């Protein structure tokens, strides 16, 4: 199916009833942009409890890499579940965990031997990466970036600086975390132009943070998203990551790449850092790694992952069913889906840039593969953020049968399953065009 099929008003009666139950019993801290109540899905299509079908360009927040209910992944899950569900890789051994570690070695954006720590989620993978960096270097400070999102547990939240609401009310956070400006060429924090950018944000670290706030020999790591996710799907210039690598090497710091959202084929390469030709010392990934099963991993150079037994562990991390799903996912990514993400992503980005010619509200289109950000502005010259308009467009897309999400203050993210076809991408562009036409300013 390419086009959505809407049979009821939204939300339908069954969806409305479940939402009412949810509001009575579920934590109000969850953010729900629109009233979708999922009943099932296949590929890039989801169906709600009232039989309405939607084209999915959100993928469970960039999680369902192989699409919904891919038969190879489902089979791997069922086969493993029939053998055993849990034994805890912290205390025992089992083949799926070892095999997945071997697979991570094969695909890691790091040359040489790599070792893997298994967790349950992205934030846990980031926590493990930060703890490992501190343990290995015997240093205690971390540098992260403004606009970043690394998770919501206390350590990774301390690195996160995407939205105030994510941090408000939870202080004091982890001490010794310093934030630098991220290389956003559309909104350069240093007032420079994209055509002359040479990664000067890294100079800010060297000239400001490491002079006025913390000595470089006390910094364990710089933690960076290769492409910022929650911050607005911001793609930095290649020099930014090259200079970060040079800076960390110069001062004996570790470079930690948060590939939780950008990894596992989403950008048209297995990991986003590959676009920049830079090797991290440690990287964290989750989301798309197991096609919807809970799993996070932290991978590092073998000489870096030198902590002893008991230094860090997880009862459920590396669950055998999740590992089986991840192994099946990696095979699908290798066989076709990374390539499809690159090809369909290029098609989708080109189509979004055509919409930019029509809609004045689109200030920037950026991305790699199927990790695409569309930034909305009230004025292209002043770049005033079109926040309310973005929110209205996300809602309008839903009521047309297209699932998208926001990113940052005023961007729309397109992060569909990596099985998305060009025909489905064209439908998404048509619906997005209609939604923008209804909610944003249009150039005649």
| pLDDT tens per residue across span 121-163 | 999 999 999 999 999 999 999 999 999 999 999 999 999 998 8
Q: Which two tokens stand for residue 111?
A: 């040359």
- Asked whether residue 2 is domain-assigned, the answer is no
User: Are 76 and 63 part of one and the same domain?
Assistant: no
Q: Number of C-alpha atoms within 13 angstroms, CB side, residue 200?
A: 11
Sorted by sequence, the CB contacts under 8 Å of residue 103 that are 6+ apart come out as 326, 327, 330
Helix 338-358 / helix 422-439 crossing angle, nearest 10 deg: 30
Shared domain for 98 and 228, answered yes or no, is yes
Judge if 148 and 221 occupy the same domain. Answer: yes
* Residue 266: its H or E element: none
- Determine, yes or no, domain membership for 193: yes
- Rounded Cα distance, 225 and 205, in Å: 16
For 53, left (φ over 0), alpha (ψ -120 to 50), or beta? beta
Q: Is residue 49 part of a domain?
A: yes
Q: Is 260 found in the same domain as 318?
A: yes
Examine the fold and report which residue of 333, 367, 395 is the final residue of a domain before the chain moves on. Answer: 333
How far is the C-alpha of 165 from the C-alpha of 30, rounded, in Å? 12
165 class by beta-carbon count within 10 Å (0-12 exposed, 13-18 middle, 19+ buried): exposed
Q: Which two tokens stand for residue 83?
A: 């053998």
> 133 φ, ψ to 5°?
-60, -45
Count CB atoms within 10 A of the CB of residue 173.
Answer: 13
Q: Which of 280, 307, 333 is the last residue of a domain?
A: 333
Nearest residue to 374 via CA among 343, 351, 348, 352: 352
Separation of alpha carbons 340 and 370, rounded Å: 9
Please check whether residues 236 and 376 belong to one and the same domain.
no
Structural domains counted in the chain: 2
Tokens of 146: 């403004």
The domain in which residue 346 lies consists of 13-69+336-439
Identify whether residues 401 and 381 lie together within a single domain: yes
Residue 444: predicted pLDDT:
34
Contact 279, 110 (CB under 8 A): yes
Q: Which has the closest alpha carbon to 254: 142, 422, 94? A: 142
CA-CA-CA-CA torsion for 265, 227, 171, 298, nearest 10 degrees? 40
pTM of structure:
0.95
Residue appearing with tokens 């996300």 = 394
Last residue of a domain, one of 333, 350, 368: 333
Same domain membership, residue 289 and residue 329: yes
Which pLDDT belongs to residue 198? 67
Buried b (16+ CB within 10 A) or exposed e, 295-316: bbbbbbbeebbeeeeeebebeb
Instruction: Tell me the longest C-alpha to C-alpha distance in the chain.
Output: 66
Assess whether 248 and 346 both reside in one domain. Answer: no
* Residue 142 confidence (pLDDT): 98
Residues of the chain with pLDDT under 70: 196, 198, 440-444
CATH number, position 41: 3.90.1150.10
Within a domain: residue 267?
Answer: yes
Whether residues 213 and 290 share a domain: the answer is yes
Are residue 138 and residue 210 in the same domain, yes or no?
A: yes
| Residue the block writes with tokens 């000595």 | 215
* Angle ∠(105,289,27) on CA atoms, nearest 5: 140
Task: Give dist(CA 133, CA 10) in Å, integer.
Answer: 48
In three-state secondary structure terms, 99 is helix
Sheet architecture: strand order including 405-407: 362-368, 371-376, 411-414, 405-407
Residue 228 lies in a domain: yes
Is the CB of residue 391 less than 8 Å from the CB of residue 311? no
Structural domain contains residue 5: no
Question: Using CA atoms in the order 60, 62, 68, 70, what is the torsion angle rounded to 10 degrees?
Answer: -150
* pLDDT tens track for 243-293: 999 999 999 999 999 999 999 999 999 999 999 999 999 999 999 999 999
| Distance of alpha carbon 283 from alpha carbon 255, whole angstroms | 8
Do 153 and 284 lie in one domain? The reply is: yes
In a domain, 144, yes or no: yes
- Helices 320-332 and 71-83, packing angle to 10 deg: 150
Let me know if residue 325 belongs to a domain. yes
340 and 296, same structural domain? Answer: no
- CATH for 239: 3.40.640.10
């Amino acid at each position: 199916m390419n086009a959505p099929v809407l049979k009821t008003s939204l939300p339908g009666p069954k969806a409305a009833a479940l939402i009412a139950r949810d509001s009575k019993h579920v934590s109000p801290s969850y953010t729900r942009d629109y009233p979708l109540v999922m009943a099932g899905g296949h590929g890039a299509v989801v169906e709600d409890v009232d039989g309405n079908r939607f084209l999915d360009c959100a993928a469970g927040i960039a999680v369902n890499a192989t699409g919904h209910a891919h038969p190879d992944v489902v089979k791997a899950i069922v086969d493993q579940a029939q053998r055993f569900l849990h034994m805890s890789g912290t205390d025992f051994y089992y083949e799926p965990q070892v095999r997945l570690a071997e697979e991570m070695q094969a695909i890691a954006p790091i040359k040489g031997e790599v070792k893997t720590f298994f967790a349950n989620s992205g934030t846990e993978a980031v926590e493990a990466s930060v703890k490992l960096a501190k343990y290995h270097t015997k240093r205690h400070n971390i540098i992260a970036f403004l606009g970043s999102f690394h998770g919501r547990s206390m350590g990774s939240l301390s690195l996160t600086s995407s939205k105030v609401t994510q941090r408000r009310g939870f202080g004091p956070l982890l001490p010794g975390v310093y934030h630098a400006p991220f290389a956003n060429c559309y909104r350069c924090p240093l007032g420079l132009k994209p055509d002359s950018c040479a990664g000067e944000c890294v100079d800010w670290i060297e000239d400001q943070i490491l002079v006025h706030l913390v000595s470089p020999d006390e910094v364990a790591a710089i933690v960076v998203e290769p492409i910022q996710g929650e911050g607005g799907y911001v793609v930095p210039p290649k020099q930014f990551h090259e200079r970060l690598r040079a800076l960390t090497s110069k001062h004996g710091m570790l470079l930690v790449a948060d590939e939780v959202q950008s990894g596992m084929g989403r950008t048209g390469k297995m990991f986003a850092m590959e676009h920049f030709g830079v090797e991290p010392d440690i990287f964290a990934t989750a989301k798309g790694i197991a096609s919807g099963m809970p799993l996070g991993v932290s991978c590092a150079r073998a000489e870096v992952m030198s902590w002893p037994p008991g230094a860090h562990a997880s009862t459920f991390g590396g669950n055998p069913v999740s590992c089986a799903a991840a192994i099946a996912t990696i095979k699908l990514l290798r066989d076709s889906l990374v390539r499809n993400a690159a090809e369909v992503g290029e098609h989708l980005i080109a189509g979004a840039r055509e919409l930019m010619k029509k809609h004045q509200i689109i200030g920037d289109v950026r991305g790699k593969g199927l990790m695409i950000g569309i930034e909305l502005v009230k004025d292209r010259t002043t770049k005033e953020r079109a926040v309310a308009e973005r929110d209205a467009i996300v809602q309008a897309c839903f009521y047309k049968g297209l699932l998208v999400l926001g990113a940052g203050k005023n961007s729309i993210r397109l992060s569909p399953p990596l099985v998305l076809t060009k025909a489905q991408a064209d439908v998404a562009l048509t619906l997005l065009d209609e939604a923008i036409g209804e909610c944003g300013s249009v150039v005649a």
